[in-house]
A and B are shown apart, each in its own frame.
Chain A
Amino acid sequence: MSEPLVSRELIGRQSDEVLVEIERGGIRKFAEAVGDTTEACLRGDVAPPTFPTTIRIPIPGLTIDLARVLHGGQEYRFERPIRAGDRLRCRTRLQDVFQREGRLGAMTFFILELEGRSEDGEPVFTGRSTVIVR
């Protein structure tokens, strides 16, 4: 088995907390691109459930070569929907890194967690991405 692309010592590393303002125009543009006809989303009031994908916060020291990346899976959990005007305190964390032998040879799996809280610290959503580097 070849060397993992990233040391397991990076597990637990996280980004700074970023304050993300959820904008009506951003929600509308996203819903329009998807062709989502949900009225509350087209009006820009309520974010579609996959809208947190627009929140991209890099983790210092972790760079992934886009040309070799596959998105294996994705999860979002919600305490409540995200709405226009929300100011969310967000952070990305590298939850796990492991290597597996697949049909295409050794692949490195990154499990990245994105967490969003209200300004009061109440949990709003979490995202969990499985990113595979071949």
Chain B
Amino acid sequence: MTDTATTRMDTRELAVGSALPELRKDAITKLQLVKYAGASGDYNLIHTDDETARRVGLDGVIAHGMLSMAFLGQYLCWLTGPESIRRLTVRFGEMVRPGDVLTCRGRVKALVDEAGGRRLTLELWAENQRAQQVTTGDAEVVIG
């Protein structure tokens, strides 16, 4: 896998409304939540300890919302490369649990040619295996 845009998206062929290729992530595991807690510094035990999660009325641990945003961040890097990203904005809608399989999808919302390159506004979302959009948002990238 490379970090360049050209492998994933030919910007010349993009238009407003164009669907982006999808990125399907591996199923989320409890181990991943422990790793993410350590790597991110979010030690809220509702993400790693079932007992704590049940005490606040959940069935068991839930994933960090920021993990699903990180998936969308990876998606952007995969689509256009990490150097191109100017903004990523998300809303956390649905809870994500261990075992859930998230797929990142998106489409082009706007496309403007600028001096520095082509600025794309992308609508993005992560959906679970039941096709529910769990985390939704948009992003701006500039491709030289």
Enumerate chain A interface residues (CB-CB to B < 8 A). 26, 29-30, 32-41, 46-50, 53-54, 56, 66-78, 81
Contact = CB atoms under 8 A, between A and B. Distances in A.
A9 to B, nearest CB: 27
Interface of B: 1-3, 25-26, 32, 35-36, 38-42, 44, 46, 52, 55-56, 64-67, 69-71, 73-74, 76-78, 82-83, 85-92, 137
Contacts of A78: 85-87
Contacts of A47: 82
Contacts of A66: 44, 46
A102 to B, nearest CB: 14
Contacts of B67: 34
B64 to A, nearest CB: 8
A45 to B, nearest CB: 9
Given A38-B74, A67-B56, A75-B87, A46 B82 contact: yes
Contact of A33 (B1, B35, B69, B88): B35
28 contacts: A30-B39, A30-B40, A33-B32, A33-B39, A34-B71, A34-B73, A36-B77, A38-B1, A40-B3, A40-B77, A48-B70, A48-B77, A49-B73, A49-B85, A50-B70, A53-B41, A53-B42, A54-B39, A66-B46, A67-B46, A67-B56, A71-B92, A73-B91, A74-B66, A76-B87, A76-B89, A77-B86, A81-B83
